[in-house]
Chain A
Amino acid sequence: MSTVATSATAASRAGRSGSLAWLAVPALVIFTGFGLIPLAGVLVLSFTSWDGLGDIGFTGLDSWRAVLADPQLPHALWVTFLVMAASWAVQTPASILLGTFLAGDQRYRAFLSVLYFIPLLLSSAAIAITYKALLDPNFGLGAGLGIPLLVQDWLGEPVLAFSVVIFVVSWQFIPFHALIYQGGVRQIPRSMYEAAELDGAGRVRKFFSITLPQLKYTIITSSTLMVVGSLTFFDLIFVLTAGGPGDTTRVLALDMYKRGFQANLMGPASAIAVILVLVGLVLALLLRRLGGRDAAHSQLEGA
């Protein structure tokens, strides 16, 4: 994501003054090397049959037919969609509230914002291993502290396992999105709040009438990151549940890995990878459209 963003800004800057076009080169080289070329490779591989070891044989549309006819694909798509929707629905309100709270310039809030940031510094694998240990029904937190309520088959019951995945994902990424919203809230001119206060608006009214509408583009940015990012959740789910129990948490990325690297079916796995890329692109475009139509329109009228 970050390379895309960098190259986009670099390009727009270069548009204004042609002499700075070379600034785009490092980003372009990296994006081509790590983004475009592998993508082309995967696209080609999706028309082949390859076990990951021997020679690659072109088999036309065989892999695509196999993938599209497999009932596992709609299931994985559905799970991916559920993860996307649920993690968005949990993260967005929490991040907006937390971000607005942290935007205040009180000392303790600055201190808290540092604390809240910590989960983002940990690697997904480490988080997943820790939660897995804590949630173990026999040796975990619940059993250790003797709290029966916590002794659940957290990762073994389909609904619970799915909820745990959403919870852990949110726990990890809410700090990041709260940070984005914090920045967004700080951009809102004070004068708007002062005007509202003169009109007698309370805290809640100010939040819904000023803060939230002013955060429109921040919401779109953060939602794009959440939605497209949720397509690539892999490490966390892989360590936490390995797609289980059964296949209740097997998202598209996990399905791709299992087919490619465990079942040695690189062709179908590449086809899924292409589907993943397409879904991600379509979603990103849709979200841009959603707020992009009047991007030039000023939000600061009357400020």
Chain B
Amino acid sequence: METRTTSRRTFLSLSMGLPLGAALAACGTSGPTRPGGGPSGGGGGATATYWYLSVQPQEGVRTRTMERFNAANPNGKIVGTILQNDAFKTKIKTAIGAGQAPTLIWGWGGGGLRSYVQAGQVEDLTSWFDQNTALKDRLFPSSFGAATIDGKIYAMPCETMQPIVLYYNKQVFEKVGAQPPQTWGDIMDLVPKFNAKGIAPFSLGGQSRWTNMMWLEFLFDRMGGPEVFQAVFDEEKDAWNNPIALDALGKVQELVKADGFIKGFSSITADSNADQALLYTGKAAMMLHGGWTYGGMKQDGGDFVSGGHLGYMNFPPIDGGKGDPGNTVGNPGQYMSISSQATPEQKEIAKKFFATELMGDQAIKEWVGTGAVPIVKGADSAFASAEDAEFLKFVYGIAVNAKSFAQSWDQALSPTAAEVLLDNISKLFQLSISPKEFATNMNAVIGK
């Protein structure tokens, strides 16, 4: 492949340096920078940079965690920039490629992290974790899987675990006189019932595409267990041709054909939280979504969550399926790496942040406050006093009891394969390709 290599810097400065630099600079200044964090402030010490995701309540926790760190370390502050989820994914890649990465690289681990590691853009933290065993032992061991590439740790697992949960609106179920689904058959039976009442059975933010993917993740798992996708991940030839995979792809198309998803789902984005709004306004009865949406619905949905109208359950089993119904998929954690392009001072600030505030006691308390489970051992002891104790126990229970907590496919795969995957998933939901065509297209990018 790489017969001759040229410094990517040379090319960047030639081909994209100017416009890109200008664009980045423009975004940097227009982005909301936190007060007191300006490069000139803070007594002349070095500053580390940190980009993180918008959308409350998570954004608030990240901001306050950073501010606490800054207050305690006036000579080595962190400057934050807030970005939207889908925009962040491309922007961080571009910035890293251009040598303009922030000191702290936030992400989902897995395939994306692997591509940074292969490019030598992130610090190896293995030895640092060996020196800080107390910190390492505090975190869930399972969360290190997606942070470990070829036996070395390149990121600190942080924040919360986010299994995908099947949410439902209890009021709507009462109105229709229906019971939450216990099997896939129940789901298919519920679809015409809700449609007859003018309520969409499922809310879905289909334009974001990874939202559709969550359905396939569960169908694959419930029908064939985690092995079906593991074969793809392990780069087995024609792994998508597995009859179970084809069957699962067909099942999701049956649901689309039966009008299982809300009208217009392919033009709804998850970034706007419109999919959550459909559930709490009663326009849709159910929604398969990440654990993080609990916090969003609690914040925006009026008394929907506090009034006990939100129901939640693990994805139901499928008749004749081989997968364990206790399994789950989602994000086993979030991941924070340190850019290898950062100065030694910045790296020191970053490591200090990792060791102190990032998963400090106050941060954990605030994460629990958002209705999410921090990836810290014994986090359940903090639940009793929490407002959302019931949901927290539910999520903790899923995470502890799941025989398999699979990482989201698009995060586990390389960015190249993930893009083809998402593209084909949106076509699959659009019914413009058949399961067979889906499998053929996906087999072509296995291992890429």
Q: Give the B-binding residues of A (Cβ under 8 A).
A: 33-34, 37-38, 40-42, 44-45, 49-59, 132, 135-139, 153-156, 161, 241-242, 244-247, 258-259, 261-265
Contact of B115 among A51, A56, A242, A258 (CB under 8 A): A51
Contact A137–B263 (Cβ < 8 Å)? yes
Does residue B23 face the partner (Cβ distance < 8 Å to A)? Answer: no
What is the minimal beta-carbon distance from A184 to any residue of chain B, in angstroms? 33
Complexed CA–CA distance, A243 and B277 (Å): 24
Residues from chain A with Cβ under 8 Å of B418 in the complex? 263
When the two chains form their complex, are residues A161 and B267 in contact, meaning their CB atoms are under 8 A apart?
Answer: yes
Tell me whether A33 and B14 are in contact (CB under 8 A). no
Pick 23 A–B contacts, CB within 8 A, sort by A: A41-B14, A41-B16, A44-B11, A44-B15, A45-B15, A50-B8, A52-B94, A52-B97, A53-B97, A54-B120, A55-B7, A56-B6, A57-B4, A59-B1, A138-B263, A139-B277, A156-B206, A241-B267, A244-B207, A244-B267, A246-B430, A261-B93, A264-B419
Q: How far is the CA of A188 from the CA of B181 in the complex (A)?
A: 73
The reply to whether A263 and B415 form a contact with Cβ atoms under 8 Å apart is: yes
Cβ contact within 8 Å between B11 and A41 = yes
CB of B137 within 8 A of chain A? no
Residue from A49, A51, A154 with most neighbouring chain B CB atoms (10 Å) = A51
CA distance A135 to B264 in the complex (A): 10
Given contacts A53-B116, A54-B120, A263-B416, 16 further A-B contacts (CB under 8 A): A38-B15, A42-B15, A49-B1, A50-B11, A51-B415, A52-B97, A53-B118, A55-B5, A57-B4, A59-B2, A137-B263, A138-B263, A155-B267, A161-B267, A246-B432, A264-B414
**In whole angstroms, what is the CA distance A50 to B116 when docked?**
13
CB distance from A150 to the nearest CB of B (A): 12
Which B residues touch A33, using CB under 8 A?
18
Q: How far is A37 from B12 in the complex, measured between Cα atoms in Å?
A: 11
C-alpha spacing A34/B404, complex, angstroms: 51
Contact of B121 among A53, A155, A244 (CB under 8 A): A53
A42 to B115, CA, bound (A): 22
A262→B419 contact, CB < 8 A: yes
Whether the pair B90, A138 counts as a contact (CB closer than 8 A) is: no
Beta-carbon contact of A264 and B16 below 8 Å: no
> Which of chain B's residues have a CB closer than 8 A to the CB of A153?
263-264, 266-267
Enumerate chain A residues within 8 angstroms of B6, measured Cβ to Cβ: 55-56, 58
Report the nearest A residue to B420, measured CB to CB: A263
How far is it, in angstroms, between the C-alpha of A45 and the C-alpha of B12 when the chains are bound?
10
